[in-house]
Amino acid sequence: MSLNNKATLFLVATPIGNLNEVSNRTLDVLNNVSVIACEDTRNTLKLLTHFDIHTRMITYHNFNEENSTKGIIKLLEEGNDVALVSDAGYPLISDPGYELVNEVIANGFNIVTVSGPNAALNALVASGLKTAHYLFFGFLNSKPSQARKELEELREFPYTIIFYEAPHRIEKTLSMMREVFGDRKACLARELTKLHEEYHRGHLSELCELHDLKGEMVLIVEGYEKEKEDISEEELISEVEELVEKGEKLKKAVSEVSQKHDYSKNLLYNAYIKDKENRS
């Protein structure tokens, strides 16, 4: 399974709920590697048992990351291919694995990603919010004061933001977001791909009215939008005229003014030409 003469670390995404989302490639890799490194052997065992996979497992989590990384490097040095999995979704995405990946790179072994389910993207594309540009933030700090500081740093971020949150903190988090961000559009997705999957879409104030929510949660919040200035077309034309009189070429002057005031360049150009014709 190696790409060259060296062993391979496979980063394997596992189901976030529905086991039918496992790909044939995922099953093939989990069957054929020498070892599967996982967060919790009990959780991974359920997946392996369901698909009759008997590959040896070892633990790799936040509390043993340093020692486990050394052990996995030793396995790779001995020629063993290793699969890294988390309890659900992609390894390293709000889960351990960063240290291991960097050590594997430093030691020149192969790294291969095996595609699969991802809660953040599932929620994003179904949220109804903008998807062209987005930031995956993951979990806020567990300390409220630090979480608020993180939100304040994100307050003027212009693109959609994706958060993960635990059910016992979701109500406080939503309330804090409304205080810091204002009443923005948002979407709360929970139990994705599972029997009780559901989406709550609306503004943060509406989501704050939800109570007793359970399960894995993804929270999508729209980005910051500057309030458009209340400026008239005549004032915009006047600004363009001032630049032209100073020697600026018309198209460049229109571009500068339209960008400054977030106004359509074509509309401003046509308005300027029409105004000039009317004054002729």
Q: Do 42 and 111 have their domain in common?
A: yes
3-state secondary structure string, 27-53?
HHHHHHCCEEEECCHHHHHHHHHHCCC
Judge if pTM exceeds 0.75.
Answer: yes
Query: Pick from 126, 127, 100: which is nearest to 111 by CA?
Result: 100
* Assigned domain for 159 exists: yes
In a domain, 227, yes or no: no
Please answer whether residues 26 and 114 qualify as being in contact, where contact means their C-beta atoms are separated by less than 8 angstroms: yes
Query: What would the two tokens of residue 42 be?
Result: 């009990």
Give the chain's residues under pLDDT 70: 1-3, 227-229, 280
Which residue type does 24 have? N
Domain match, 24 and 87 both: yes
Q: Is residue 149 one of the residues assigned to a domain?
A: yes
Q: Is residue 124 located within the same domain as residue 107? A: no
The angle formed by the CA atoms of residues 66, 147 and 227, to the nearest 5 degrees, is 130
Predicted confidence at residue 275, as pLDDT, reads 86
> Is residue 191 domain-shared with residue 206, that is, in the same domain?
yes
- Encode pLDDT of 95-125 as tens digits: 999 999 999 999 999 999 999 999 999 999 9
**Helix (H) or strand (E) segment spanning residue 258:** helix 250-260
For residue 208 the two structure tokens come to 């704050």
Q: Are 85 and 46 in contact (CB under 8 A)?
A: no
Cβ distance 83 to 37 under 8 Å? Answer: yes
**At 29, which CATH number?**
3.40.1010.10
Range of the domain at 133: 120-221
In a shared domain, residues 91 and 168: no
Unique residue bearing structure tokens 């351990």: 96
- Phi first, then psi: what are they for 85, rounded to 5°? -130, 155
144 plus 159 within the same structural domain: yes
pLDDT in tens, 195-221: 999 999 999 999 999 999 999 999 999
User: What was the pLDDT predicted at 2?
Assistant: 57
Q: What is the pLDDT of residue 3?
A: 66
Exposed, middle or buried, 234 (CB in 10 Å: 0-12/13-18/19+)? exposed
Q: Where are the beta strands (DSSP E) in 108-264?
A: 110-114, 134-139, 160-165, 185-190, 198-203, 217-221
Q: 41-72: buried (b, 16+ CB within 10 Å) or exposed (e) per residue?
A: eeebeebbeeeebeeebeebbeeeeeebbebb
Which amino acid, residue 275? D
